[in-house]
Amino acid sequence: MRFLIVEDDAMLADGLARTLQAAGHAADCVANAEHAALALEHEPFDVVLLDLGLPGMDGFDLLKRLRKRGNTVPVIVISARDALGDRVRGLDLGADDYLVKPFEHAELEARVRALIRRRATPVPPQLSFGRVSLDLAAREARIGEERVELTPREWALMELFLTQPRVALAKERIVQSLSSWDEGVSANAVEVYVSRLRAKFESAGLRIRTVRGFGYMLESEDVG
């Protein structure tokens, strides 16, 4: 998944980005609401982590603007403001969750997983296809009972495939999903990750088929 972190505390933003990237996600950071609005207008993000105490336009105003324009991107407010009134206002303006600073990164990850489950097209805590399964909470990949070690990028790509098996995914979309502004992923790198996944899951009868001129599709010998 691709996250947009809207946070003017550079150290906190960097720490959040590193945590998300270590988990296989792409994460970009902006320090004010104006830049966030511009980024959300021109690029797709899966989740926004939104601070309230921003310079200039505050987080409440940005949230109000997004929802007024029909932007339904999931938003988790991350703020030191713990008053009930602030939490109620954030949720009433359209936030999907409200997390009070300071918080443990494990709690943020759990909130993100819960948010995904609540969306219109929810992702279950475990993805499976044929003999392959991904436990999103434990971050474990398995073929039957056998654990398979994946790098963060391999995990992110496998999660993308397993959320949409038997669907042709454009290579450009895969590149965009795995990339951030500071760390891009090339089409050639995607080919390398696909090759590694093919090798790791070949014994499970899993096939990542190349759709010529377009991208890739996940198939399985064990799934009709």
pLDDT tens digits, 180-207: 665 778 888 899 999 999 999 988 989 9
Q: What is the pLDDT of residue 99?
A: 92
List of long-range contacts for 34-41, beta carbons under 8 Å, 24+ apart: 36/4, 36/6, 36/62, 37/62, 37/65, 37/66, 39/4, 40/4, 40/66, 40/71, 40/73
- Please state, as a whole number, how many other Cβ atoms lie within 10 Å of the Cβ of residue 3: 22
CATH no. for 126-220: 1.10.10.10
Residues 195 and 203: their CA atoms lie apart, in Å, by: 14
Q: Nearest 5 degrees, angle CA 109-CA 47-CA 213?
A: 110
Domain 2-118, CATH class in plain words: alpha beta
Residue 69 sits at φ, ψ, to 5 deg, of: -85, 0
Q: What is the pLDDT of residue 118?
A: 67
Residue 39 sits at φ, ψ, to 5 deg, of: -65, -40
Q: What is the pLDDT of residue 117?
A: 67
Tokens read off for 48: 């926004």
The pLDDT tens digits of the residues spanning 59-75 come to 999 999 999 888 888 99
Contacting residues for 70 by C-beta, under 8 A, at least 6 apart? none
Residues, the chain, total? 224
Average pLDDT, integer, range 21-40? 90
Tokens read off for 2: 């691709």
Are the CB atoms for 93 and 48 separated by under 8 Å?
Answer: no
Outline which parts of the chain fall under CATH 3.40.50.2300.
Answer: 2-118
Outline which parts of the chain fall under CATH 1.10.10.10.
Answer: 126-220
Q: pTM score, two decimals? A: 0.60
Query: Quick check: helix, strand or coil at residue 216?
Result: strand
**Partners of 220 in beta bridges:** 206
